[in-house]
Structure 1
Amino acid sequence: MSNLTCDVLIIGGGPAGLAAARAAAQSGQSVLVLDDNPRPGGQIWRDGPGVILPVLAQQYRQAVEALNNVTLLNAVKIVAHYGPQQILYEGALGSGLVDYQRLILCCGARELLLPFPGWTLPGVTGAGGLQAQIKQGLQIKGERVVIAGSGPLLLAVANNVAKAGGEVVVLAEQASVLRLAGFAGGLWRWPTKLRQSLTLLNRRYRPDSYVLEALGEQRLEAVRVRQGRRVVTLPCDRLACGFGLVANIELAMLLGCRIFNHAVAVDEQQQTSLPQIYAAGDCTGVGGSELALAEGAIAGYVATGNREQAQALLAQRDKWRHFAGAVERAFMLNPALKALSMPDTLLCRCEDVPLGQVREFSGWSAAKLGSRCGMGACQGKICATAARHLFGWPLEAPRIPLTPARTETLVRLGRAESDG
């Protein structure tokens, strides 16, 4: 893969990245979008066999793909940042360098997965993970599916399962009835969300509920679920469990951007603490596609000097920021979830490290050195995030490479650092 240059580099091709590209392109400057998915759209607008994308997603994709000064480079991952303004990326055909003038981070978010007995059994996935598999063509017709965890994503997953022919056994939401009632009572402020919630209503929805244990020998056979004060055992074929989303901030931390409340800190213009670097979407705080679109457009306009059009979007952004705050308050995680795991429950699935072994350490670096926790394929994205939630450990600066990379890519990285 060859070296590239651009005026504006955007990391992430989800709603925020597409909106940023569309806005930045109006200046006539060259825009490059790097994304790790095979097609634009991110997780929320993930494409796949048989997927019918929302009209808005189609409009953004078509608009960006039609722009002559925008280049979309999909199925690549960011390996490192070094030098004044350079990014090293890797794809199926090799690695490449990008020289940029301004950078917009639209890195999105990932699921928070908390360990519990049996969570490593075949048949147990993240809630968003099952949704992604269905969009990629996974056949679940006739299968019994338990959906559990927290947040509005669970309703969307249940809807996908039903459309794919699966049977939703229960939709266990850990949030209390009181919090959910307060949230629902305020939805009139966001009419589109109110209408959307009505279309996603599910008769299997149970608040004050969470999975205690996944049961099975060779694969998942049943789950034990606490529903209020009682515990029930439910036979099932799949369990999709996710406890909300966490911002992807590793690249921002590597760059030296200020982090606040576990997200990239930005000002009113979506600018980070560093000049020429902006951020938008869920990496600045989880808020959904509407907020991501507004923030992405603002970042794209400001990065290319079009502050007037950015100013026109501030009220829309603030409206969806208020919604994001309401969601965060309503679905705040119950502290009881921290006590689900036993000492022999695996925390790091890649390296088979149990929770009891990791609990002995004072922080993430010590845990990695003493147990190999986080040294596997996910590079700690799952287990480190869970450990921070369970133990209250502080964030630690990431190291390069940000993701496992081929030897020739690492050699290129070494040469570039030597040249610098």
Structure 2
Amino acid sequence: MTHYADLLIIGAGPAGISAALAAARSGARIVLLDDNPLPGGQIWRDGPAAHLPRQARNLRQRLDACSNIRIHSATRVIASNGPKQLLVEDPEHGWLISYDKLILCTGARELLLPFPGWTLPGVTGAGGLQALIKGGLPVHGETLVIAGSGPLLLASAASAKQHGAQVLRIAEQASRRAVAGFTAQLPRWPAKLLQSLRLFDPQYRTASHVLAALGSDRLEGVRLQQQGKIVELPCQRLACGFGLIPNIQLGQALDCAIEGQAIAVDAWQACSRADHYAAGECTGFGGSELALVEGAIAGHAAVDERQAAQQLWPRRARWQGFAKALNTAFALDPQLKALAQPDTLVCRCEDVPYAALTEHHDWRSAKLATRCGMGACQGRVCGGAVQHLFDWPAAAPRPPFSPARIETLLCLDEQPAP
């Protein structure tokens, strides 16, 4: 069976929710797909130990009140089936959905860089630790070290402390001067200044980064380079995150132009392909405030409400200024490319070490020779790592984009949309 939407939105994080609500007043038939159980994306991820902010609860209530918005949760895009038609799957079945307009709000994922010991049990991403805690992971009484780059480190530390963990160190790779320069600009965005004051932690150290996770069968400690000195700390958990990578795979599959590591958009949030838009972190990382306004602009533009969209341009410009300051301050130091040793695994799924990749010149060559990126995660972890380590451009995905049931794939035999 083939379903139809006037406007199909992929991703129900802040950008996707905002796009759907902006377009809803037009009366268009809107379908919102997301692979999480409930709308909110990673930033407003639900779970037994999650405490959603009032803004997230209000947006969910507004979605529920719109009769022309249909939400498909726990649903993934499996393949493209010709012009303006996608194959999707939820836990029960797969189906084809055709659309007139589409907005990509596919968000971003955490950049994980390989270093000795990073595959030990007890080592996670910084955002991954937050998600685990929201999902009910008990951390009460545990000792933690958090390392990497960006404000997510402080947010992850705050979540851990709220649930009874002891945070021994927050190691930020950016220099003290860069972080101080960024902090000095925060009065331009008072809400962010207040948030930074609430998240401040006395264990925060700049110009510091992880060198190795220590242990045999499980994490026992961490070795850090801290402001020019080598420091070792015993701990039970290590959370490392080096920023975010836009999720552009579906945009690539739909032949949308890519600029840098993000989906390229114009002032209306329109992609290079007609009737396709993108908003939020898949167009570049800038925080939930920027994602919300970009989503609203895309939603209005997709239903031809150009004046309403244009009225939001000044607000977007304001938050784009924050994004630029953030990304400049927390740009990764080139020395982080030297963290991996020859025997350090880069692809955990297929046990591919760093040394096996150095002789290759691109992602395709490495995959063919080593199976790097061909495991269960389909390159979602190691793909970002090799992009950073070797400056390889991201390869366009091949369908199926996610593991799928045979019954779902058989839907592709149906007549594609005209």
* TM-score bracket, shorter-length normalisation: over 0.9
Number of the residue aligned with 2:209:
210
Aligned AA (1:220): L
Determine the structure 1 residue equivalent to 2:163.
Answer: 164
Spell out, residue by residue over 1:131-163, the C-alpha distance to the aligned partner (whole angstroms, 9 max, x if none): 001001111000001100000111100000000
Structure 1 residue runs without a partner (length 5+): none
1: CA distance between counterparts of 2:345 and 2:93? 34
Instruction: Give distance in 2, aligned partners of 1:418 and 1:46.
Output: 35
- Residue 296 of structure 2 corresponds to 297
| Residue 267 of structure 2: aligned partner | 268
User: In structure 2, how many angstroms separate the alpha carbons of the residues matched to 1:324 and 1:208?
Assistant: 21
Q: Which residue of 2 aligns with 1:335?
A: 334
Give 1:254's aligned residue: 253
- Offset at residue 417 of structure 1 (A): 7.2
Give the residue type in structure 2 aligned to 1:232. V
Alpha-carbon distance between aligned partners in 1 of 2:77 and 2:355, rounded to the nearest angstrom:
33
Residue 219 of structure 2 aligns to a residue whose secondary structure is coil
Aligned to 1:175: 174
- Please, which moves more after superposition, 399-408 or 204-213? 399-408
Corresponding residue for 1:225?
224
Structure 2 equivalent of residue 286 of structure 1:
285
* TM-score w.r.t. length of structure 2: 0.98
In structure 2, give the amino acid aligned to 1:244.
Answer: G
CA distances 1:332-375 after superposition (whole Å, capped 9, x unpaired): 00111100111100000001111100111111111111011111
The answer for the alignment partner of 1:347 in structure 2 is 346
Q: Report what 1:145 is aligned to.
A: 144
**Structure 1 vs Structure 2 CA RMSD:** 1.2
Q: Partners of 2:75 and 2:2 in 1: how far apart?
A: 14
Q: Deviation per CA, 1:211-232: give whole Å up to 9, x if none.
A: 1000111110000011011111
Rounded to whole Å, the distance in 2 between the matches of 1:404 and 1:374 is 14
Does the 8 Å contact 2:85/2:416 carry over to 1? no
> Could you list the per-position Cα deviations for residues 314-348 of structure 1 after superposition, in whole angstroms to 9, with x for gaps in the alignment?
10011000100000000000111100111100000
Offset, 1:408: 2.2
2:309 matched residue in structure 1: 310
Deviation at 1:418, TM superposition (A): 8.3
The letter for the 2-side match of 1:240 is: A
Percent of residue pairs identical:
56
1:372 aligns with 371
What displacement does 1:419 show? 9.4
* AA partner of residue 245 (structure 1): L
Q: Distance in 2 between matches of 1:260 and 1:297?
A: 22
Alignment of 1:11-50 (within 5 A): 11-50=10-49
Distance, in Å, in 2 between the alignment partners of 1:79 and 1:132 is 24
Which residue type is aligned with residue 297 of structure 1? Answer: A
Q: Give 1:416 shift.
A: 3.6
Distance 1:225 1:4 in 2: 53
State the distance in 1 between where 2:203 and 2:265 align: 39
- Secondary structure of residue in 1 paired with 2:323: helix
1:385 Cα deviation from its structure 2 partner: 1.1
Question: Which consecutive aligned stretches of 4+ in structure 1 deviate over 6 angstroms post-superposition?
Answer: 417-420
CA distance in 2, matches of 1:87, 1:49: 33
2: CA distance between counterparts of 1:65 and 1:19?
13
Q: Match for 1:254: what amino acid? A: A
Q: Distance in 1 between matches of 2:351 and 2:180?
A: 40
Q: What secondary structure, in the 3-state scheme, does the structure 1 residue paired with 2:87 have?
A: strand
Instruction: Please state whether the residue corresponding to 1:234 is helix, strand or coil.
Output: strand
Read off the aligned partner of 2:324 and give its amino acid letter: G
Q: Any idea what the Cα deviations from partners look like across 1:286-332, whole Å, max 9, x if unmatched?
A: 11100000000010001001111111111001100010000000000
What is the CA distance between 1:19 and its match in structure 2? 0.2
- Whole-Å Cα distance in 1 between the matches of residues 51 and 240 of structure 2? 24
What is the distance in 2 between the residues matched to 1:163 and 1:342?
A: 35
Instruction: From the superposition, tell whether residues 348 and 230 of structure 1 become closer, same or farther in structure 2 (CA, over 3 Å).
Output: same
Give yes or no for contact 2:96–2:411 (8 Å, CA) kept in 1.
no
SS of the equivalent of 1:40 reads coil
In the alignment, residue 141 of structure 1 is paired with which amino acid? H
Residues 103-151 of structure 1: CA deviation (Å, up to 9, x unaligned): 0000000000000000000000011001001001111000001100000
After superposition, the Cα gap between the structure-2 partners of 1:419 and 1:313, relative to the gap in structure 1 and judged at 3 Å, is closer
Tell me how far apart the structure 1 counterparts of residues 411 and 400 of structure 2 sit (CA, whole Å): 12
Which amino acid letter does the alignment assign opposite residue 323 of structure 1?
F
Cα deviations by residue, 1:82-113 (Å, 9 ceiling, x for unpaired) = 21211111111021111111000000000000
Matched-pair contact (CA < 8 Å) for 2:2–2:95: yes
Q: Identify if the C-alpha distance between structure 1 residues 373 and 417 changes in structure 2 by more than 3 Å, giving closer, same or farther.
A: farther
Partner residue, 1:196: 195
Q: Matched residues in 2 for 1:304 and 1:418: separation? A: 24
Instruction: Letter of the 2:123 partner, please give it.
Output: V
Confirm whether residue 323 of structure 1 aligns to residue 302 of structure 2: no
Deviation per CA, 1:186-242: give whole Å up to 9, x if none: 111111111110000001100000110001111100000110111111001111100
- The answer for unaligned runs of 5 or more in structure 2 is none
Q: For the structure 1 residues 110 and 185, does the alpha-carbon distance in structure 2 shift closer, same or farther, using more than 3 Å as the test?
A: same
Q: Secondary structure at the match of 1:101?
A: strand
TM-score normalised by length of structure 1: 0.98
